[in-house]
Homo-oligomer: A and B are copies of this chain.
Amino acid sequence: MFNFEFHNPTRIVFGQDRLKELNRLVPADAKVLILFGGGSVKQFGTLDKVRQALGNRNLIEFGGIEPNPRYSTLMRAVEVVRGEKIDFLLAVGGGSVMDGTKFIALAARYGGNAEDILTGKAKPAQLSAAVALATVVTLPATGSEMNSGGVISHQGGKFVFFSPLVFPQFSILDPTLTFTLPPTQVANGVIDTFIHTVEQYVTLPAEGRFQDRTAEGILRTLIEIGPATVADPSDYDARANLMWCATNALNGLIGAGAPQDWTTHMIGHELTALFGIDHAKTLAVLQPAVWTVCKEQKRAKLLQYADRVWDLREGSEDNRIDEAIARTRAFFEGLGVSTRLGSYGVAADRIDDVVRALETHGMTALGEKRQVTLEVSRRILEEAL
């Protein structure tokens, strides 16, 4: 096991009918900016319930945070925070709203050009303050509700940032708030959670047995409840298990002391930026291809994955690995998500564009051993066609 530091101070308030506890959780004298995306939190009454729970606090709303939230949108919210002297941000939504809110929390207290937060010019240590924030989760997927990172779109790229200052103070996870999600978004959430897990698990053996077993537990749970929760939104237990798995897949727990990959995410970000493909769908397309191309390096963990997640113990090593990859692909397809680039209108002639974007963004040595050069990324994209 590698040395590690683990610290996650976010308070999770999980279950049915928890919105009313906002009154206990948000400081009584806070001036609150409620952030959200499109109209669904209004349409389904979540915003009303949030406002009601917050009582007579001074509340301002900022809606319209888009999927793959844009720097320019978020900077408008930063102006509101500064102008209105907001001291508490409440994100009500999925990963985009939560990630955007984290960026706003940092940017509003950052003295320099806020683009520094995205480019890495502002190192975590230089970011010394952030507005307090919390979340109400309406889409289980990104794990943003219990971690210190976010992804922001700007000038044709997607940028990842981290700061311990943006751990949510609390996150309310009420599975019933997700019952109104369209099935495609639920399928995306299952796949996003699955890939977050394997990016920290199908790497190299490192004697992190608790981490491995916990990752395997998330994967088996997703396989068990994924189809059910896409098909039947009102199955509380299935949705609750998806929601709690999504949080634990990316709260630092399974990655602590373990090698991490993230190739699929980094190439996937370029596919979203260039072609507008949903984040989760880029992951479903790329992950089987990453495993096929990087099979030798990942052999030991792919065999473990085949054994412990898919119960594949017969046949040659290569057969077991190939079958595990095939079953993973079939699992994604069974959720209604295509795993081939072609299905999203991207053909071989666009691979050059993707490789160029990776180069522009410095993604020239990805993977748990920095083995994924631009040439390897090209092979992955070819395999994903």
Contact = CB atoms under 8 A, between A and B. Distances in A.
Interface centre among A15, A18, A208, A217 (most CB of B within 10 A): A217
Interface in A217-234: 217-218, 220-221, 224-225
Given A2-B15, A16-B3, A241-B1, A213 B216 contact: yes
Give the interface size class of chain A: 35 or more
Interface string A244-275: 11001000010011000000000000000000
A353 interface: no
A334 B225 CA distance: 38
A60 to B, nearest CB: 28
Interface stretch (A5-13, A296-304, A367-375): A5-13
A209 interface: yes
Contacts of A244: 1, 208, 210, 257
A218 B210 contact: yes
Nearest to A211: B244
Interface in A1-48: 1-16, 18
B213 A221 contact: yes
Given A207-B240, A213-B221, A257 B15 contact: yes
A214 interface: yes
A237 interface: yes
A14 B4 contact: yes
B221 A256 contact: no
A326 to B, nearest CB: 24
B3 A237 contact: no
A295 to B, nearest CB: 25
Contacts of A9: 7-9
A344 to B, nearest CB: 31
A216 B209 CA distance: 12
A209 B8 CA distance: 22
Contact of A241 (B209, B216, B253): B209
Contact of A15 (B1, B14, B241): B1
22 contacts: A3-B16, A4-B12, A4-B15, A5-B12, A5-B13, A6-B11, A7-B10, A7-B11, A7-B12, A9-B9, A12-B256, A15-B257, A207-B237, A207-B241, A210-B221, A210-B248, A212-B217, A213-B216, A213-B221, A214-B214, A216-B217, A244-B257
Given A3-B16, A8-B8, A217-B217, 4 more contacts: A1-B237, A6-B11, A7-B9, A9-B9
Instruction: Give the top 3 A-B pairs by smallest Cβ distance, nearest first.
Output: A213-B217, A3-B15, A7-B11
